[in-house]
Amino acid sequence: MIVVLGSASMDLTTYVAVAPALGETVMGREFRTVPGGKGANQAIAAARAGGGVAMIGAVGDDSFGEPVRRTLAESGVDVAGLRTVAGPTGTAHIVVDDNGGNSIVVVPSANATITGTEDGDAERIAAADFLLLQLEAPMDAAIAGAGVARANGTKVVLTPAPTQELPEALLSNVDIIVPNEHEARALSGVDDLDKTIEWLLDRVPVAVVTLGEQGCLYAARGEERVRVPAFAVTAVDTTAAGDTFVGALAVALGEGKAVVEALTWASAAAAMAVQRPGASSSMPERAEIEVLVASRT
């Protein structure tokens, strides 16, 4: 069982040939509204990959809240812990260019009300194998959730995004940290990847750094580092690729897959996602992941 504690939002995505510079206006070719948020994205990715998943978070009582909740539920996520609060649902304002790159502005709104665990949350976390955390909700919520997880033997997987200073109260309860290369270097303050990995392992037992087209790097205290290549695909939209990777990785590890197999599985899920537009709408089903994994083996 996987529990996700984090953000649930509506993505407002515009597709352009080239993203505008500061002060510039450009013409877009398409606009989409798709349920997202890093927490909801990871929950949906894990559920579609075959995991049992529950979501802890909040949406608003506006017109975006119900579609976000419905998309999670239709993807197989238990939404009993997804509360509805007065006010707007969180939004992410995304520009995607023709290379699949994106820039994002997140407005937390309802997500900002997740300041800790509430009735039933501790029981959900305690019963889970993994707790997935991100940082689009207040830090206090992540710290509280990680504390409950550690006390009950639930492994904590942290995606440190958006990047910010990570307090010891959180890091001391994290089992696996999964930053992308840019986030990892921002956290460590150094450009050298090897030194960045050392910095991470001084603070958490396991680090998985995603490297885009270069694949991913697994490092654990006392073990040899493992690098798994990415699948060669043409990216259409990289939004939520990292969240897809994390959700699928938690499923694979929960099923007892070995490290290389689990990383390959997660990489395949992310590769499927970047070939489609949108966040939650791009995430693959388990059968699709299996087909791509089989093509490599």
Q: Which residues are catalytic?
A: 243
* Cα 270 from Cα 230, distance rounded (Å): 9
The angle that helices 286-296 and 259-274 make with each other, rounded to 10 degrees, is: 110
The size of the chain, in residues, is: 297
* Cα 32 from Cα 222, distance rounded (Å): 46
Residue type, 245: F
Whose CA is closest to 75, among 279, 293, 291, 290? 279
* Cα 243 from Cα 279, distance rounded (Å): 9
Query: What token pair was written down for 212?
Result: 């885009």
The rounded Cα 251 to chain-centroid distance in angstroms is 13
The angle that helices 65-74 and 38-48 make with each other, rounded to 10 degrees, is: 20
Distances, alpha carbon 292 to alpha carbons 174, 234, 241, 286, in Å: 30, 14, 16, 10
Cβ atoms within 10 Å, residue 157: 25
Which distant-in-sequence residues (6+ apart) come within 8 Å of 39 by Cβ?
Answer: 4, 5, 6, 7, 8, 55, 57, 111, 132, 134, 136, 137
- The backbone torsions φ and ψ at residue 44, rounded to the nearest 5 degrees and listed phi first, read -65, -40
Query: What token pair was written down for 182?
Result: 């840019």
